[in-house]
Structure formats: C-alpha cells, structure tokens
Amino acid sequence: MNFLSDFTTQGSLLRYVVADDYIKGNYIIVWGHSICTTSDFITLENITGSLDQNAYAQGPPGRARFDTITGVVTNPTSNKQIWVSDYGNSCIRTVNRETGFTNVLTGRCREKTVQDGTINSAGVAYPFGMAVSPSDRQKVYFYENGEGSIRCILRIGPSWYLRTVLGLRKKISGLNFDPAGKFLYLSYETSIVRVPTTWENPSQEISIDFIDSIAEDIISGVGHEDGPLESARMKDPMHIIFLDETTFLFADYNNHVLRMVDLLNSSISTICVPQGTDYNVTEGAIDTCRIELPRQIVQSKESSKLYILGDYRFHELTYSGEFLSLV
C-alpha cells in the first residue's frame, strides 16, 4: 500500500472521488462541502463550494454553497459541466467548469418534493449518488433516498426529463452498473443487491410494487466472513467498482477493508486486515496492510492503479489481472 495523503487535521470529510473528464489525468474530489480537482491526491484545487460551510447559494465559485454532496458525474453531452447530487439541499446542481458558476439542474432546492417531469418542473428530495448507464450514456441515474427509488435524468428530443424507474424501499450507500449495463448494483446497510436494467426498455418498465421480487441479494449479513457469497458477511458496504465483467471491489467501511467479489466463482476475499473501532493505517502487502474507513474507489484511466478514498486519507492500490497488491 502506498499511503498518499492525510487530511485529518483539516477536520472535513473526504466524501467522493471520480475521474475528472475536463482536466485529463485529474480527479474530482468532494471535500467537506466543496468540489475540488487534483492530479496527485495531495494538492486539492477548489472548483466551487466551501470546505466547512454547508448552505445553499448559486453563483460563482466564491459565492456558491452546497450541503452534503453524495455524487458527481460529467454532463453526458459536455465535459465542460458536472452534475452534482446535493443531498442536503434536495436538488441536482450543475457546475460550469470553464467559469465555475453553479446553477440548479433539477429539483426545487431546499424543497423536498418527489415529482417527475421536465428537469425544470421536477422535484427531488434526498438524491444519492450518480451513475451513467453503460448501455445509453445519455442517461444518468441517481437514487432517491427519501422515497426509496431509482430515478433517471434523460434526454428525449431537445428536452431533458427526470423520471422514476424503479422502487427499492431501502436507504442505500452506493450504486454502480456492471460494465455491460445489465444490472445496477446497490449497497446498503446489511446487503449488496442487484436489479436487472429492464427499465431501459419502456415497454418493460417495472412497477414499484414488483421490485422486491426481482432484486437479487449478492451478499447479505453483518460481520466479516470470506468464502462463498452465500455465507459472506460485511459491515456497511459503500462504493462498488467493477474491474471486469465478473469481478468487482467494494469498500467495506466499518471493517476497514476492501472486498473483492468473484461472481464467476461466487466467492469473496479481503484486501487488508479487518479492524474494529481501534483502527490504524499501515503500509504493506494485501494480507498485512491496514486502512481506515474506506468510502470510495476510483480507477486510473492511465495505469493499473486504483485510488481509495477514506474519511480523511487517500491510498493507492496496484493490480494486474487476478493479482492485486498494495504498494
């Protein structure tokens, strides 16, 4: 493991990380209530928002304010804009990367109203995460934690709409598609589940009352246990990232480890040493290293590296095929 940086002394949580499509080789970091860009995970350059002031304000970088940010994605039609899930302000925001100016994309900020329609008329309550559909990259999904539903921002002709596509009735902590876009994987307190993306075809749209019968548990249970998926245990799983069509990693937050799931063999293994409340950070091989409170994982587009975001620290993971090593 390569320990990259420590932001503990600043006191604000590192919340989210995603590749920066506007500045090649950089990554977007949500730090506190601000959005930053970085090339090295050591120096964070502010794009907009405030590190320690949670509020609501539109406008230029020095004035714009956010509450709790739970997701960031590049506008599917332009890398000069990012869309932001502002959970605490109950809306989706948009940030112009050229000017830094922040505006409302959809929802009535500070009004918790769940309503479908055009992006100008729709309502949002508690938006969580952002994920682009691999099968249609002009559709962006987020989870509505207030109502427990999957919602989609999509373009129809010249106009953008917000549409509810599935109900799950759970409060989630992570979501991502598999590489083919056949399933949407969601993590929540005690489980990781997946649902088939049959809603991509409007004629096959699934009613909210039917979702429980199609949601498949991949892992379910509290604790720490490797081996067959049917007996696996975890503690507060968060972000999920696929390495290939049948292998994904997830951040096992309160076990302080990463877990690797092999769907082909229905098995799970652990990267780093599980820890309890008395945790610490130690560099080393994948069976001896220690990390703390991992939240997010992002894959480098330029190399075989993964970057792990914890509450206050960044780590680097190098992998090759089936072999993973923390260096």
d(CA 7, CA 9): 6
Residue 212: the pLDDT is 55
What does the longest C-alpha to C-alpha distance in the chain come to? 55
pLDDT of residue 151: 94
Angle at 125 (CA atoms; ends 141, 96), nearest 5 degrees: 60
Look at residue 321 in the predicted model and tell me its pLDDT. Answer: 54
pLDDT exceeds 90 at position 304? no
- If pLDDT is split at 50, 70 and 90, which confidence band does 319 have? confident
Please answer whether residues 2 and 283 qualify as being in contact, where contact means their C-beta atoms are separated by less than 8 angstroms: yes
Position 322 pLDDT exceeds 80 = no
Nearest CA-CA partner of 42 in 77, 76, 14, 84 = 14
> Which three-class secondary structure state does DSSP give residue 8?
helix
Map out the domains of the chain as residue ranges: 54-220
What's the pLDDT tens digit per position in 108-147? 999 999 999 999 999 999 999 999 989 888 899 999 998 8
Q: Which residue has the higher pLDDT, 127 or 319?
A: 127
Burial class (CB in 10 A: 0-12, 13-18, 19+), 85: buried
The structure's pTM equals 0.92
Which uninterrupted H or E stretch holds 306? Answer: strand 305-310
Q: What is the pLDDT of residues 42-68, one digit of tens each?
A: 999 999 999 999 999 999 999 999 999
**pLDDT the model gives residue 5:** 76
Above 50 in pLDDT, residue 210? no
| C-alpha separations of 234 from 15, 78, 192, 275, 283 in Å | 20, 38, 10, 12, 22
Q: Hey, what CATH topology would domain 54-220 get? A: Neuraminidase (2.120.10)
> What percent of the chain has a predicted confidence (pLDDT) above 70?
92
Q: What is the share, in percent, of the chain residues with pLDDT greater than 90?
A: 76
Using CA atoms, how far apart are residues 65 and 189, in angstroms rounded to an integer? 29
How large is the average pLDDT for residues 243-270?
Answer: 96
* Beta bridge mates, 103: 94
CA 233, chain centre distance (Å): 21
